[in-house]
Amino acid sequence: MIDGTVGMGGHAEAVLAASGEDVRLLGLDADPDALRQAAERLARFGDRVRLVHANFRDVRRVAREHAVGEARSVVLDLGVSSFQLDESGRGFSFQRDEPLDMRLDPTRGETAADLLNHLDEETVARIIHEHGEERYARRIARTIVRRRPLRTTGELVAAVRAAVPRAAWPRRTHVATRTFQALRMAVNDETGALRQTLQEIPGLLAVGGRLGVISFHSGEDRIVKQTFRALDSAGYVELEPSPLTPGDDEVRANPRARSAKLRVLERTA
């Protein structure tokens, strides 16, 4: 099994605990802090587990380096974890005043502050609109540029609040939700990584092997759906019903799961 977003090891632990000794896990994650926690959580499985600090877009290279020719299953759980939102201190959440970082891998790349403070207004607006589907993207971008430099999540939240008319604030979600999502996706090139990975993973599946992708954003789910449909005539089939969504009990237990969608692709030939 390959877990391309092993995170803190929740999915991996469940699969390994329910599987025989012959099942082994290759887990990847871009976040070294999450990877350390996964290593502690999965330590009881010994040499059945190999963990690698890498983005899932590098899955083919990592699989080759660890002599994995075929996988019975691959899972990608997109987005951010509760740990990253609540404890990482990297500015993923609008509910805390933290540095505007938003990098899944804090060892490389530009931060959200870097992007917001150097990109032109049109590009900031495009990012917020395309990745966040925010109708007030232009107004938000204009306010951000006027208030630069922005260094903390609190300053970004204040800019969004000032830009969006009070009557247009969503009732069920925070007014800055879409902007934060958009910036995180841009900082980590999440759409580009997903497109690249979905081209590489099918070739890693054994016949009968399955790829499961959990997305939380309509744009990402659209990419997964289109990719799976394109593979339909090439020896792969998307399993039904699709997409699978969480039930009421799961949403009550974990409100952050309310927008999750799972699609599963099986290699048939």
Q: Per residue in 8-49, pLDDT tens?
A: 999 999 999 999 999 999 999 999 999 999 999 999 999 999
pLDDT-based confidence at residue 225 (cuts at 50, 70, 90): very high
pLDDT for 170: 94
Phi, psi of 161 (to 5 degrees): -60, -40
Rounded to 5°, angle at Cα 144 from 139 and 150: 160
pLDDT at residue 20, rounded to an integer: 94
Q: What is the pLDDT of residue 97?
A: 94
How far CA 236 is from CA of 1, 208, 219, in Å, comes to: 18, 9, 22
Residue 135 main-chain phi, psi, to 5 deg: -70, -25
User: What pLDDT does residue 249 have?
Assistant: 83
Q: 264 and 226 in contact (C-beta within 8 Å)?
A: no
pTM above 0.85, yes or no: yes
**pLDDT tens column, 133-181:** 999 999 999 999 999 999 999 999 999 999 999 999 999 899 999 999 9
